[in-house]
Amino acid sequence: MRRSTLVILCLFSLGLLEMNVCVVFPKAPSTAKIMFGTYRGENRELYLMNPDGSEQVNITNNRADDISGRWSPTGEQILFASDRDRGEGWDLYLMDTDGKNVQPVFEKSEDRRHPEWSPDGKQIAYMRTVGGVGYVYIATSDGKNEERFAIGGSPAWSPEGNELAFVVRVAPDRLNIYLLNVRTRKQKHFFPPDDISTAREPAWSPNGTKLAFMWHQKRPQDEGEIYTLNRDGTGLQEFVNHPEEGVTAPVWDPDGKALIYSQEVGKWEIHVFKIMLADGPSERLTDVGLWNNPGDWFDPAYALPVSPQLQLLPTVWGELKRK
């Protein structure tokens, strides 16, 4: 009798534990979503929308500026940069996909921005400004350990997780793209090949074979175009060219068949370009606000599988015992 009662109590406790754990876990979107920054009032906010531009929803709703939103590899969290709550500078924050449960990544505030997740979700890369100089840092995703790796900014993690593409200021008016091996810390110049033009905003293709980027072929003040280049430096190809309008911020879709980017048509709007239809027109996704800038494109079909968060179990069990 006593043993039966104990078994029933154990099963009941496990049931309660399972329910509590389900409540704690954040949820990833069940359909593909594009995250973007936009200026539609007094500050910049983060929004979500469907890949066709429909159902645009504000997920930050804060008086601060919130930009550079990035999906975690599982789609359960969003990493972003904001100037809220921590003095006058920028820093990095995490939130659930509905904009709730906003928390700073680091205990001590510093000037951090341009965040990127590692493919396994265990680390983040970002630019941290120290003494007026921008450096590429890598930290654990819980913010407990961070380390300086190179001078530069705007890091983009390769899909394999072994390289970072980042931007280096090689002259007061010129930016170049470099590649950093995160294991050996060796870095090499990637693009452009000359000492006159400037390139920035690198974005890896989902299969890791190409980089998309913005290239100013003359001066940074000139309007740039979006190009792709193979990882080995061959196959330079122009994809988006609007000589009378600026284009910036290329972002790949998760299957590598399209690029979204921001284009100035009186104001900055987000467009999508189908790579498989190289001669076809682009499609505008936004038409509200003075500034719209794509951040990241998430599709659950290409997401990292969600693993159980076992570190939450002792906390939940403690809460049950107190009840």
Residue-wise pLDDT for 48-78, tens only, equals: 999 999 999 999 988 899 999 999 999 999 9
Among the listed ranges 143-152, 178-187, 270-279, 293-302, which one has the minimum average pLDDT value? Answer: 270-279
Exposed, middle or buried by CB within 10 Å (0-12, 13-18, 19+), for 130? exposed
Residues 6+ apart with CB under 8 A from 231: 208, 209, 210, 211
Task: List beta partners, residue 175.
Answer: 169
- In this predicted structure, the answer to whether residue 189 has a pLDDT above a threshold of 60 is yes
Given a cut of 80, whether residue 85 has pLDDT beyond it is no
pLDDT of residue 19: 42
Most confident listed range (3-17, 134-148, 210-224, 253-267): 134-148
- Among 24-38, 76-90, 133-147, the range with the most confident prediction by mean pLDDT is 133-147
pLDDT at 9 over 90: no
Which pLDDT does position 6 carry in this prediction?
Answer: 44
Looking up tokens 């550079």 gives 68
